């Protein structure tokens, strides 16, 4: 199945093997992107505890786990807990946004294409927020993640829900678990896996969804390399703390020396540490932050590079994110790759 792109409002290619869906023009994409930004602003003005910009990125990731990105989420799976909030947000936009006199549904723009575009916009908006300090008066020059957006994803017949099973990575997994998941699912290298994990700079974990609690970074609405910086910062006082519920107890890394209650999962710390044996609840028993040995493989190497170079991280994250949101489709070299940005 090939993906089509938009270049200055011209459709380059749209060849769909599993169904007939329309593509949109560059100007229509701008309307949709503006609607996404407006929705993010409204959500945050209302003080919602579920940060929409982070939820849109999570939704795009969960949509692409499985055979392909198909605009369908199995809400019966525990790993998808909380995504109904973001599906409802996006469905409101999908059915109500005026795009040249039509809704996205009426245009035949697939949910999978919309979810991918919404995630790209959420990342761009959050990148601007991270880089805008001190330059608003003089004008900001932003460095974005190097994401190429393409069209042509096909929704499943029951979109936005499905009963199809899918396997997601465990928050208490070790280095091998994380690396193997992304290799098996998206054919990621260790470098791409390390880069895509940087999405955790956005948002927070919620007890009623995963059992884990708290934001990964202090400024959870800003997208940057802060995730890696914090990971290497021993002064934050990283320690294992039990969270979760009575029926779902889990352990996470929590910053004891931070007023923002920053946290990391085993799956995060596994990028830089060999966490060794853990209990069934994820408690690391072989070491503490200061004594855990280095992770095997190259994930620690890349994490340290990203911690020291935000632009390099954004470049690599964009390439990995593009590969993820194209999962299950043909975006080979004979198709012109372009960006809507």
pLDDT confidence band for 207 (50 / 70 / 90): confident
- CA end-to-end distance (rounded Å), the chain: 24
What is the model's pLDDT at position 4? 55
Strand order in the sheet with 263-264: 238-245, 248-255, 263-264
Q: Give me the number of domains the chain comprises.
A: 2
Residues 157 and 213 both lie in one domain:
no
Which domain range does residue 296 map to?
175-313
Does 88 map to a domain? yes
Instruction: Examine residue 115 and state whether it is found in any structural domain, yes or no.
Output: yes
The tens digit of pLDDT for each residue in 272-305 reads 999 999 999 999 999 999 999 999 999 999 999 9
**What DSSP line would sit under 201-234, residue for residue?**
GSSEE-TTTTS--EESSSSTT--STHHHHHHT-G
Is 337 part of any domain? Answer: no
Q: Are residues 56 and 147 in the same domain?
A: yes
How high is the pLDDT of residue 330?
83
CATH number reported for the structural domain that contains residue 159 in this entry: 1.10.520.10
Consecutive H or E run containing 238: strand 238-245
Which tokens hold the place of 18?
Answer: 């599993």
In this model, does residue 209 exceed pLDDT 90?
A: no
Q: Is the pLDDT of residue 6 over 80?
A: no
Parallel, antiparallel, or unpaired: how do β-strands 214-215 and 238-245 relate?
unpaired
Q: Are 222 and 284 in the same domain? A: yes
Q: Range with the lowest mean pLDDT among 24-28, 144-148, 331-335?
A: 331-335
> Quick one: 161 and 14 in the same domain?
yes
Q: Are residues 162 and 183 in the same domain?
A: no
What pLDDT, in 10s, does the model give residues 215-226? Answer: 999 999 999 999
Q: Residue 80 contacts by C-beta under 8 Å, 6 or more apart in sequence?
A: 62, 73, 74, 168
Give the pLDDT confidence score for residue 18 in this predicted structure. 40
- With a cut of 70, say whether residue 211 has pLDDT above it: yes
Q: Looking at the structure, do residues 35 and 153 belong to the same domain, yes or no? A: yes
Instruction: Write the pLDDT tens digit of every residue in 137-153.
Output: 677 889 999 999 999 99
In the structure, what pLDDT confidence band is assigned to residue 115 with cuts at 50, 70 and 90? very high
């Amino acid at each position: 199945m090939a993906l089509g792109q938009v270049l200055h409002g011209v459709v380059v290619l749209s060849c769909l093997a599993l169904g007939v869906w329309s593509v949109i023009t560059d100007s229509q994409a701008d309307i949709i992107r503006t609607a996404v930004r407006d929705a993010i602003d409204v959500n945050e003005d209302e003080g919602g505890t579920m940060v929409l910009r982070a939820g849109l990125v999570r939704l795009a990731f969960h949509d692409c786990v499985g055979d392909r990105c198909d605009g369908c989420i199995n809400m019966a799976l525990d790993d998808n807990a909380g995504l109904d909030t973001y599906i409802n947000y996006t469905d409101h936009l999908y059915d109500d946004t005026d795009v040249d006199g039509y809704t996205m549904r009426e245009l035949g723009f697939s949910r999978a294409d919309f979810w991918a575009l919404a995630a790209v916009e959420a990342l761009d908006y959050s990148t601007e927020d991270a880089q805008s300090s001190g330059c608003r008066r003089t004008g900001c020059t932003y460095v974005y993640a190097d994401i190429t957006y393409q069209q042509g994803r096909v929704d499943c017949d029951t979109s936005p829900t499905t009963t199809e099973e899918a396997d997601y990575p465990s928050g208490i997994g070790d280095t091998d678990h994380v690396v193997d998941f992304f290799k098996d699912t998206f054919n990621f290298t260790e470098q791409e896996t390390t880069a895509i994990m940087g999405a955790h700079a956005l948002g927070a974990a919620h007890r009623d969804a995963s059992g884990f609690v708290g934001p990964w970074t202090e400024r959870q609405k800003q997208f940057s390399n802060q995730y890696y910086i914090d990971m290497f910062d021993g002064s934050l006082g990283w320690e294992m703390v039990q969270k979760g519920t009575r029926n779902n107890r889990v352990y996470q890394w929590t910053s004891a020396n931070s007023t923002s209650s920053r946290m990391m999962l085993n799956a995060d710390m596994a990028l830089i540490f060999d966490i060794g044996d853990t209990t069934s609840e994820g408690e690391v028993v072989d070491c503490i932050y200061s004594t855990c040995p280095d992770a095997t493989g190259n994930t620690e190497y890349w994490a340290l590079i990203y911690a020291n170079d935000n632009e390099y991280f954004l470049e690599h994250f964009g390439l990995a994110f593009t590969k993820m949101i194209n999962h299950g489709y043909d975006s080979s070299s004979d198709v012109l790759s372009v960006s809507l940005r």
